Amino acid sequence: MVEIKNVVLDLGGVLLDVDYDRTKNAFINLGFENFTEMYSQYTADEVFSKLETGHISPEAFYEVMLKAAPKNTGIGDIEFAWNAMLLKFRKSTLDFLLGLKQKYPLYLLSNTNAIHLAAFELMLQQQTGYTSLDVFFNKIFYSHIVGLRKPGEEIFNFILEEQQMQAEETLFIDDSFPNTDTAKRMGFQTVLLSPGQRVELLPVW
């Protein structure tokens, strides 16, 4: 086993509890009967994929969703439903990262979007007292800012090249198999975090 020199972590399901069913049910309650077909964690519909890679703005996203929504649905309703998946930050994990950062360069790699970013930044401060995720990481890579998303190899290559890291010296932690599968094929050391597992309790440290 090659010595770990860098650690890359996912956000949702790793540092922040998420429940995709809450968003699905919230949209269904709004009248989006086909929302399950429109979106899932692994196979996002084109509009969601474009939002996550920054190729459409939140305003354009709301416009598309409102066209598919029942009458009297407002932007606030769409925003509430879209953010319903975001639950609670794992403060014990964040506390652990402050110490881990003294040992390894830490990086955050998240498939996200501008709407969720605004929501979870507010949640972070309200729930944990931390004012920004920047305090935990040497650099943060959000898909909608980079213009690439997991599980594509391109976003992993982007990070490796920019930070001048070697895949085999880098530990990647994510809760999604397609993401860890890509990273593993590229030579990363990987941990597929299962429900209930916590980063701070992993045997790799």
H-state helical runs in 31-132 = 35-38, 46-52, 58-68, 75-83, 91-100, 114-128
User: Are residue 10 and residue 43 in the same domain, yes or no?
Assistant: no
pLDDT tens readout for residues 101-155? 999 999 999 999 999 999 999 999 999 999 999 999 999 999 999 999 999 999 9
Confidence at residue 84, expressed as pLDDT on a 0 to 100 scale: 98
What is the secondary structure of 113-152 as a DSSP string? -HHHHHHHHHHHHHHHS---GGGG-SEEEEHHHHT--TTS
Q: Which amino acid is at 202?
A: L
User: Are residue 98 and residue 195 in the same domain, yes or no?
Assistant: yes
If one counts the domains in the chain, the total is 2
pTM of this structure? 0.94
User: Are residue 38 and residue 96 in the same domain, yes or no?
Assistant: no
Q: Provide block-wise average pLDDT over 10 residues at a time, the chain (205 residues).
A: 95 97 95 78 73 97 93 96 98 98 98 98 97 97 98 98 98 98 98 96 96
Q: Residue 142: which of 18, 11, 6 has the closest Cα?
A: 11
User: Are residue 97 and residue 32 in the same domain, yes or no?
Assistant: no
d(CA 18, CA 40): 13
Confidence at residue 123, expressed as pLDDT on a 0 to 100 scale: 98
The CATH number of residue 118's host domain is 3.40.50.1000
User: Are residue 66 and residue 101 in the same domain, yes or no?
Assistant: no
User: Are residue 67 and residue 162 in the same domain, yes or no?
Assistant: no
3-state helix, strand and coil shares in percent for the chain, rounded to the nearest 5: 50, 15, 35
Confidence at residue 44, expressed as pLDDT on a 0 to 100 scale: 56
Among 49, 83, 117, the domain boundary falls at 83
Confidence at residue 36, expressed as pLDDT on a 0 to 100 scale: 78
Per the structure, the complete domain to which residue 74 belongs is given by 20-83
10 found inside a domain: yes
